[in-house]
Amino acid sequence: MTEPNDTVPESHTAPESNATTGPEGTDAPLHRRGIKSYVIRAGRMTQAQNRGLEDIWPRFGLTITDGRQDLDALFGRKAPRVVEIGFGMGNSLVEQAETHPDTDFIGIEVHAPGVGKLLDEVDKRGLTNLRVYREDALAVLEQCLPEGSLTTLQLFFPDPWPKKKHHKRRIVQPAFVELIRTRLMPGGTFHMATDWEAYAEWMAEVMEAAPGYANTASAETAPYVPRPAFRPLTKFEARGEKLGHGVWDLIYQRCD
């Protein structure tokens, strides 16, 4: 992941992400535990990405300091609400927002070029149903999104942290999925996808042990579901399919 270009005026850019993740069993806020599920690396910004952070951010960007959101007021309507954690360069999320204008989307990403690119595309396509945080996802869930407010939470291709000593950095942990459950409305869904089979198995293990969730997979494919048509096929995923790489989707429903 990438830090913002120093030439972007501070007053106009998305905020630096300064929170950390560490969903372990303590009473402290999840994002203050000192274990990050992501790494921010230095890099360069394109002109379009800078434009997104400078010019478009004031219209569509959100911060932790905005506090708890009234989502009906934020979007000016009542609608299904989808949150995506870690949208990367934003191609999939923008496509979803454009394809489903009757649904409101919130993206969360710490990667500055990805946020800038997404905002540039939002403006170019004239979208009004998408907002973005450049913050730690756990902090946003805890402090900004109301309980029972989300139709769907999406987590597509998170860092698998494949080495065993790094498994504690994986974002999918018991405390994390419980936090998500509280933000989903009854019947809402938590949709994960990964191209690492071992991480898919980890996700399934965590979710099967989590209270208040039901797996939506059929008996024939459980614990996984076929890739839903509403999840756009990324270029990375398409290349992987040609090379014979697998992708595993898991969808769990909140069931109180």
| Domains of the chain with bracketed CATH | 50-254 (3.40.50.150)
Per-residue pLDDT at 239: 75
Q: Among 34-43, 45-54, 89-98, 231-240, where is mean pLDDT lowest?
A: 34-43
Q: Is the pLDDT of residue 148 over 90?
A: yes
Per-residue pLDDT at 182: 98
In this prediction, residues 114-122 reach a mean pLDDT of 97
**Helix (H), strand (E) at residue 190:** strand 184-194
Per-residue pLDDT at 180: 98
Helix, strand or coil, per DSSP, at residue 196: coil
* 123 is known as an active-site residue: no
- Residue from 144, 151, 148, 119 nearest 132 by CA: 119
d(CA 25, CA 142): 15
User: Could you please report the per-residue DSSP string of 18-63?
Assistant: -------SSSS-GGGSS--S---B-----HHHHHIIIIIHHHHEE-
| Annotated binding residue 197 | no
pLDDT digits (tens, 9 = 90+) for 70-80: 999 999 999 99
Q: Among 2-6, 28-32, 60-64, 139-143, where is mean pLDDT lowest?
A: 2-6
- Residue from 190, 182, 86, 81 nearest 141 by CA: 182
Chain centroid, CA 250 distance in Å = 15
Q: Are 12 and 57 in contact (CB under 8 A)?
A: yes
Q: Active site residue: 104, 120, 159, 249, which one?
A: 159
Interaxial angle between packed helices 91-99 and 112-125, expressed in degrees from 0 to 180 and rounded to the nearest 10: 30
| Annotated binding residue 109 | yes
User: Residue 45 corresponds to which tokens in the numbers above?
Assistant: 């910004």
In this prediction, residues 149-168 reach a mean pLDDT of 92
| Annotated binding residue 121 | no
Confidence of residue 256 (pLDDT cuts 50, 70, 90): confident
Q: Is the pLDDT of residue 31 over 50?
A: no
More confident residue, 195 or 40: 195
Sign of CA dihedral 84, 59, 141, 149: negative
Per-residue pLDDT at 41: 58
Confidence of residue 2 (pLDDT cuts 50, 70, 90): very low
| Annotated binding residue 117 | no
Confidence of residue 15 (pLDDT cuts 50, 70, 90): low
Amino acid at 250: L
pTM summary value:
0.84
User: Residue 35 corresponds to which tokens in the numbers above?
Assistant: 């274990």
d(CA 13, CA 15): 6
Highest-confidence segment of 11-20, 115-124, 158-167, 224-233: 115-124
